[in-house]
Chains A and B, each alone.
Chain A
Amino acid sequence: MTDAHGHLGTSARDVIGLSPEERIARMQSRRFTEYPRCRMVLDLLSDQVNQPSGVVKPNLLVWGESGQGKSTIMKKHLRDHPAVFDKQTGVRRAAVVGLEMPPMCDVKWFYIKLLSAIDAPVSESRSSLPVMADRVVALYRLMGVRQILVDEAHNMLMGSVRQQRMMLAVIRNLSNELGIPLVLFGIQDAREALMHDRQLTRRFRFIELPMWGAGAEFQALVGSILRSLPLRRPSPLTARALKTLLTRSDGGTAKLFETFIDLGIDAIRSGEERITPEMIKDYVSLPVLA
């Protein structure tokens, strides 16, 4: 006897018995779908966290165009390493802390973000930078933070050259003081910003999340997405349909996910319960929203 839902992944199988409305809602609230490149980055991040202290760990810059899933990977990594409160010592142990680079290249604002990321109260009045830096280091050490993730790292370019240099120095200092790796997520500009500092360039490893092109990796991604969609029938997609999708999404991950969700919703609403090449053709022929 063959499995009727053998084409689905575990998460999709769990919800396949639900009503169409509920399945649509689940699809729309999708948080994460794993694919090989993403898994590679996540494994790299996890390796960094799990390495014993004392080992020199290089910092990482995960860069790629907008919509390539950098923030999604960061959120997934944060979810995988939740903070746990230690009742014996009164300290919340957080191996990984994530924050977003402030929209301006402002060192003080960056320190405030670092403090807010761990829910530490921040003084509303004027407090000096050394005091804030000292508090950040002390609190992060107390909490046993082993990795700091910074999203939108390219925002550090939003300032004068002097401000940018200061920010790079702060990043370097933070990494040195705490002895933990920083993982920056950003677009290509972030990479260029880091290139300004020779010391930082030496300490960083760069991982690119490239735009998708036709090939086995793209097919693996599409396969992952299809397995995560709670459709009752398998979706037979041709090479031509895949190429059409690639062209439509411009090689962007987020756009590709959006397309498949729209197609999945259409499939459930129409009762087809699968995505066909014709549906893709029809979808592509629709005018793109500006």
Chain B
Amino acid sequence: MTGGPLFTTEPGLPVVPLPAKGEALNSWIWAIARTYGLMPKTYLRRLGIPHRWVTKAIERDLVIQPLPSVMERLQADTGMAPDVVWGMTFFGLDRELEGACRRHDAPCSACVNEASWWAGRPVGLLHARAAWRIVCPDHLPDPKPMEMADGLPLAAFHGQVRTIIRFLDRAAFDPRAFEGVVGTRMAPALTVAAFVRFVFLLNAYLSVRVTEFDELRDWAGFRIRRAFTRNEPGEPLPLPPEERNDPAISLVLAWQLVAAPLRTLLAGLHTVNPVHRKTARDTGQLMALVCLLLEFWPGEMLTPLLTRIALSRQDWSSDGGRTGLAIATTAPWSNDPSHSARLTEAHWTHTAWTSVLFSDAIQNHHTRRVSQFPVAGPFRGRLLAANGQAAPLIGEIRREARQRGRKKASGLGRFLAKPAPAIREAHAAPPQPVSPPIIPAHIAQAVQFALDAHGPLPTGKLRARQRRAVLRKLSAVAVRCLNQEAWREMADATPHRVPTPSRKTR
């Protein structure tokens, strides 16, 4: 809701139910109809929506891409400020998200109950259709003990979840929002839809535990609990539902992987065992993570791991050399007592990453161009750097894709795109010249005979009963004539002549 006045003009209706906070347009229209004891269909007709447009999809049609003419009439009826009316829709939503929002309908029951209680009527919330609202920011569940270590500041963690959701709320309508997070080079690769797909992917294939949360930096540290496995043909198997994380945890992990990929990979996301007790399980987890990210991340996001400076070993302490990237990613904790352990872990992770990236196993897994994961990659294409050499080509491909998407009108506009069914009118169309049907000679002869036998046909208007009687009589004569012809042909064909009794009756 905007801070401006709710009403800007005198409404046409005497009573206008005030929209609840965050209410969807369809819910508000339903409330108006209920106020006047009307069926929603009847009130929609008043708004200029014909009955044939009111399908099962009408609720989402009203919310996603509403027709300006309908909105104008609604505004005139209710006197509501245009900002308020349009604010109850997804007008201006990123086109890529529209499809997802069309399918999505997951209202938070607590939010709905609250809004309905305040409004004193049933309320449907707009955000129930927001596909990017993976969790309700106002009613976050407490994570399970296996998902979060004891003593972590839960409120701060929830605050971080709310910040991310708020950002997504904005980014869904602002295609340049990610520029502030990942920079202008990577921003074209990231959309809200891509990010949401990434969250669900992580949720399905990687289970983690939050081991620390830095309130000062809003930074979470994770340890992998369980990664996906593969079946015989090598296809990745999603984790069983009970093993999966709460979506809020996957959301924070995905956010950190996008906002600060290298720091998260090396200093924020560790395998299950600490650095001096690493086992084959840790290697397996890292391998799974590499496979996952190779499938879905833009290549640019992983290349800094492999650059010369990042890999260069430096004599940093008596423990031996560390990679330059490990030192850089743990720098924020340089004054922290845990720095040494963090650095060692980061070094191990970096080394393991590079060795896995160059291993044969990765080569074998990624020879095919088509992903083995059942979901489409969240990031469109791999070479996505907007300011790189491939930028013009990528831009052209994107434009084409957008044009393809726009060819088919969505929302109520799809009804406008196709012409209304023609009204059937008697003799509306001029008679088209048709070729006369070829009638066999014997049938024509029979009809002629029947007409001759009947004599002059009545010219006046007949009752249905009389019409049926005349037709019966004519058809009986015609059938008799046809029978005679048939008998005659048979008699001509065979030496034994069959008497033709019907001749007498003629």
Question: How many A-B contacts if CB must be within 8 Å?
Answer: 61
Query: Are B36 and A85 in contact, with the CB atoms below 8 A?
Result: no
Q: Which residues of B contact A122 (CB under 8 A)?
A: 36
Given contacts A124-B42, A125-B42, contact A135 B15 (CB under 8 A): no
CB <8 Å contact, B38 and A123? yes
Q: Does A282 contact B (CB under 8 A)?
A: no
Chain A residues positioned under 8 Å from B14 (CB to CB): 83, 91-92, 94, 118-120, 139, 143
User: Which residue of A has the minimal Cβ distance to B37?
Assistant: A135
Interface residues of B (CB under 8 A from A): 5-7, 10-18, 35-39, 42-43, 45-46, 78-79
Contact assessment for B15 and A121 in the assembled complex, using a CB-CB cutoff below 8 Å: no
How far in angstroms is the closest Cβ of chain A from B175?
35
From the candidates A91, A124, A125, A139, name the one contacting B36 in the complex (CB within 8 A): A139
Stretch at the interface among A5-13, A36-44, A126-134: A126-134
Set of chain A residues within 8 Å of B45, measured between Cβ atoms = 124
**Cβ-defined contact, A123 with B13, below 8 A:** no
B35 partner residues in chain A, CB cutoff 8 A: 139
Interface centre among B6, B13, B43 (most CB of A within 10 A): B13
List 22 A-B residue pairs with CB atoms under 8 Å apart, sorted by A's residue number. A83-B14, A89-B18, A90-B6, A90-B78, A91-B14, A92-B11, A115-B36, A119-B12, A120-B14, A120-B15, A120-B36, A121-B42, A121-B46, A124-B42, A125-B39, A125-B42, A131-B37, A135-B37, A139-B14, A139-B15, A142-B15, A143-B15
Q: How far is the CB of B390 from chain A (nearest CB, A)?
A: 54
Chain B: which residue is nearest A90 at the CB level?
B16
Q: Closest 6 CB pairs between A and B? A: A90-B16, A135-B37, A92-B14, A118-B14, A87-B7, A131-B37
Within 8 A of B (CB), among A85-128: 85, 87, 89-92, 94, 115, 118-125, 127
Q: Residues of B contacting A94 with CB < 8 Å?
A: 14
A residues lining the B interface (CB < 8 Å): 83, 85, 87, 89-92, 94, 115, 118-125, 127, 131-132, 134-135, 139, 142-143
Distance in Å: Cβ of A173 to nearest Cβ of chain B? 17
Contact A90 B17 (CB under 8 A): yes
CB distance from A91 to the nearest CB of B (A): 5
> Most chain-A CB neighbours within 10 Å: which of B14, B15, B78?
B14
Contact A121 B13 (CB under 8 A): yes
Beta-carbon contact of B15 and A85 below 8 Å: no
Rounded to whole angstroms, the CA-CA distance of A131 and B11 in the bound complex is: 24
Considering the chains assembled together, what is the distance between the CA atoms of A20 and B395 in angstroms? 76
Query: Complex: how many Å from CA A83 to CA B11?
Result: 12
A90 B18 Cβ-Cβ under 8 A: yes
List the A residue with the shortest CB-CB distance to B79: A85
Output the least CB separation between B38 and chain A (Å): 5
Chain B residue with Cβ nearest A115: B36
Query: In whole angstroms, what is the CA distance A31 to B43 when docked?
Result: 37
- CB-CB < 8 A to A139: which residues of B? 14-15, 35-36
Determine the chain A residues whose CB is within 8 A of the CB of B79 once the complex forms: 85
Min CB distance B61 to A, Å, is 21
Contacts of A92 in B (CB 8 A): 11, 14-15
Q: Would you give the shortest CB distance from A22 to chain B, in whole angstroms? A: 31
- A90, B77: Cα distance in complex, Å: 12
**Chain A residues within 8 Å of B12, by CB:** 119
| Closest Cβ neighbor of A143 among chain B residues | B14
Q: For residue B223, give the distance in angstroms from its CB to the closest CB of chain A.
A: 54
Shortest Cβ distance from B41 into A: residue: A125
CB distance from A177 to the nearest CB of B (A): 15
Query: Are the CB atoms of B13 and A120 closer together than 8 Å?
Result: yes
Instruction: Report the separation of the CA atoms of residues A115 and B38 in the bound assembly, to the nearest whole angstrom.
Output: 12
CB distance from A189 to the nearest CB of B (A): 32
Contacts of A124 in B (CB 8 A): 42, 45
A123 touches B39 (CB 8 A): yes
Contact between A121 and B6 (Cβ–Cβ < 8 Å)?
no
How close is A20's CB to chain B, nearest CB, in angstroms? 38
Query: How long is the Cα–Cα vector from A119 to B12 in the complex, in angstroms?
Result: 7
Give Cα A123–Cα B36 distance, bound, in whole angstroms: 9
Kindly list chain B residues whose C-beta atoms are within 8 Å of the C-beta of A134. 37
- Chain B: minimal CB distance from A129 (Å): 11
Chain A nearest CB from B265 CB (Å) reads: 54
A123 touching B15, Cβ below 8 Å: no
In angstroms, Cα B13 to Cα A160, docked, is: 35
- A117, closest chain B residue (CB): B14
User: In the complex, are the beta carbons of B11 and A121 less than 8 A apart?
Assistant: no
Cα distance, A132 to B38, chains bound together (Å):
10
Chain A residues near B42: list those with CB within 8 A.
121, 123-125
- Residue of B with least CB distance to A124: B42
- Within the complex, what minimum Cβ distance (angstroms) separates B51 from chain A? 10
Query: Does A90 lie within 8 Å of B37, measured CB to CB?
Result: no
Closest B residue by C-beta to A134 = B37
What's the least CB distance linking B47 to chain A, in Å? 10
Q: Roughly how many angstroms separate A143 CA and B36 CA in the complex, as a whole number?
A: 13
Residues of B within 8 A of A127 (CB): 37
How far does the alpha carbon of A33 sit from the alpha carbon of B46 in the complex, in Å?
40
A91-B15, A121-B38 known, 13 other contacts, Cβ within 8 Å = A85-B11, A87-B5, A87-B6, A89-B18, A90-B15, A92-B14, A92-B15, A118-B14, A120-B13, A120-B36, A125-B39, A134-B37, A139-B15
Contact call A135/B11, Cβ cutoff below 8 A: no
Contact between B7 and A121, CB atoms less than 8 A apart: no
Task: Tell whether, in the assembled complex, residue B13 and residue A119 are in contact, meaning their CB atoms are under 8 Å apart.
Answer: yes
Chain A residues whose CB sits within 8 angstroms of the CB of B15 once the complex forms: 90-92, 120, 139, 142-143
A278 to B366, CA, bound (A): 115
Q: Given A90-B16, A92-B14, A94-B14, are A121 and B5 also a contact pair (CB < 8 Å)?
A: no
Taking the closest CB of chain B, its distance from the CB of A75, in whole angstroms, is 20
B17 x A121 contact (CB < 8 A): no
Q: Answer whether A121 and B16 are a contact pair too, CB < 8 Å, given A87-B7, A92-B11.
A: no
Nearest to A136 among chain B residues (CB) is B37
CB distance from B40 to the nearest CB of A (A): 11
Residues of chain A lying within 8 A (CB to CB) of residue B38: 121, 123
Q: How far is the CB of A194 from chain B (nearest CB, A)?
A: 29
Residues of B within 8 A of A115 (CB): 36
Expressed in whole angstroms, the Cα–Cα distance for A134 and B38 within the complex equals 12
A92 CA to B36 CA in the complex, in Å? 14
B218 → chain A, closest Cβ, in Å?
A: 40
Q: How far is the CB of A247 from chain B (nearest CB, A)?
A: 48
